[in-house]
Amino acid sequence: MSQGADACATSRFCRARFAVGLFFQRQPWHPSPGVVNLLRMTEDRAWALLFACWLVVTAATLGSLFFSEVMELPPCSLCWWQRLFMFPLTIVVGAGLFPFDRHVVRYALPLAAIGFAVAVYHTLLQWGVVPESAAPCRQGVPCSEAQLALLGFLSIPMLAALAFGTAVALLWLVRRSAPE
């Protein structure tokens, strides 16, 4: 490695400029063979994005358990389907953190995408866009009824859709930022 590249890799200004540039880049970054520190920063970014995804899905899982176990709100059939995709997502994403495995996106992204679709369907059902006759809830708690509205408009399925959508976006960013 040349002396100029070594100086830039250890310079505080170059590292800060590179770190800021990572989050605002428009095209994929292709490292030159001799720049090991820059490659490490890209792996660190992917790990940080995966950790943020894990925080989101863990918060959603704990929130779901809080609503059902502490607040004693019974989940409907569609809520159970959303849990079916959220609960394993917490374990799958967490397993990809230590040691970091960027290939965890292969398994986590489909779970998050299908969970997002179920949560959006449930939200549309509550808004009345999807007719109640298309709801899978035949007994117990009706899927079209909002049991809780945070801030006056955020229902539990909307919160789940927000969590799944955030997880999909973060996993997609991990997929794009992690080196091959």
For residues 132 and 150, give the distance between their C-alpha atoms in angstroms, rounded to a whole number.
Answer: 23
- Write the pLDDT tens digit of every residue in 67-102: 889 988 888 888 888 889 999 999 999 999 988 888
pLDDT band, very low/low/confident/very high, at 34 (cuts 50, 70, 90): very low
For residues 83 and 75, give the distance between their C-alpha atoms in angstroms, rounded to a whole number.
Answer: 10
- Write the pLDDT tens digit of every residue in 127-142: 888 777 766 776 767 7
pTM: 0.71
Angle between helical axes of 36-65 and 77-95 (0-180°, round to 10) = 150
Q: Of all residues in the chain, what percent carry a pLDDT higher than 90? A: 35
- Please count the residues of the chain: 180
Q: Which residues partner with 154 through β-bridges?
A: 150
**Residue 75 burial (CB count, 10 A):** 18
At residue 149, does pLDDT exceed 70? Answer: no
pLDDT band, very low/low/confident/very high, at 29 (cuts 50, 70, 90): low
- Which of 107, 9, 8, 129 lies closest to 50 in space, CA to CA? 107
Predicted pLDDT of residue 38: 44
Q: Where are the domains of the chain?
A: 43-177
For residues 10 and 149, give the distance between their C-alpha atoms in angstroms, rounded to a whole number.
Answer: 51
Predicted pLDDT of residue 57: 96
State in words which class domain 43-177 has: mainly alpha
| Contact criterion met (CB below 8 Å) for 126 and 146 | yes
